[in-house]
Each structure stands twice: as C-alpha cells, then as structure tokens.
Amino acid sequence: MMERITLGDKSFVPYIPYERISEAIDQVADRLNADYQDSEDTPVVLCILNGAILFCAELLKRLHFNLELSSVKLTSYCGTQSTGQVKTVGGLTTDLKGRRVIMVEDIVDTGQTIVAIRQLLEEAGVKESRICALLLKPEVFCQKAPLDYVAMEIPNRFIVGFGLDYNELGRNLKDIYVLDDTQ
C-alpha cells in the first residue's frame, strides 16, 4: 500500500501507482512495436540518464523488434525546480551517424531537455529521431515540435519515484509520489 514518504526535507503523497504506470508503458510499447515491427534497419533506443532508467528498462522488456541500447546523461534540475539550463553530464555512448533513434525520457515539462538532445543528435548526424516520454506536463510544455510517444499526461506538479528524484532521492520507488502541498 502506498503511503506518505519523506525524502530529505520534503514530504510526498501517493500519486500514480505502479499498476497504472505499467498499463501506460504497455500502451506506448504497443505503438512502438506497430511502428517498428517491420524495420529493415536496427533503431537505437537512447535512454536519457538517470531518470529514464526504470522506464527504459520496463519499455525494453515489451519491445519486440531488433534494437540497440545507448545512453546519454543530462541534467536540468536543482531541488524541485528546473534551472532552465540543460547540461550534458555524460556524452553519447554510441556512434549514431545515419541511425534512427528513439529517445526515452522520464518526464517532459518545458521541453528544454528535448531541444538539447535533438541538437546533440543533429550534431551526431542521426537520420531520424523520435521522442518517447513516460510523462508530459502539457501546461508548461513550450516547444513547437510535438512528442511522438507519451505514456501519460500530468499537471505541473513536482513528483518522485519510478526513476524521478528529489536531490537524487526516491528514484528506486516503484510508484510515483507528488510533493505534499499541505505542509
């Protein structure tokens, strides 16, 4: 049973149970499988570290086409706020020139990280890139290019769990929790 948790100096309450997350991942995987089942080439699934690790792992188990896995590490948060600046902490681990890439992201709010990743991929010479996000905050998303695959849309609230963190805490929680605004 989900209950209130404390991470550092903040309290969080239950928000999205693992069962709902799993159902949403099933739906996204079905769409990806339909789009890539007859691929003549081998697409690269690019996991955006650290937050997308759990989502990417769950998604990979459900994909039924040949693929390669790679990763890149970016950061834009400090505490509960986005800094507005995206930093590449760990570069691309695979040569992506001429490849099709499916970027797997945990959460998209303003979309600044997506812009930075697309720029990085363009510089790497990718043939095609698509975005697959577990969560989207549509009320703060301010980019013109739409996302290709979104598992769930949520309001603009600070959440942790299932890969998402508060100062690196809470990534290991299987459910998603929201910041308790009553304190």
Residues taking part in catalysis: 109
DSSP 116: H
Q: Are 140 and 156 in contact (CB under 8 A)?
A: yes
Count Cα neighbours of 42 within 13 Å in the Cβ-side half-sphere.
6
Cis? peptide before 50, omega within 30° of 0: yes
DSSP secondary structure letters along 38-103: T-SS--EEEEEETTTHHHHHHHHHH--S--EEEEEEEEEEETTEEEEEEEEEE--SS--TT-EEEE
Quick one: how many helices (H) and strands (E) in the chain?
3, 10
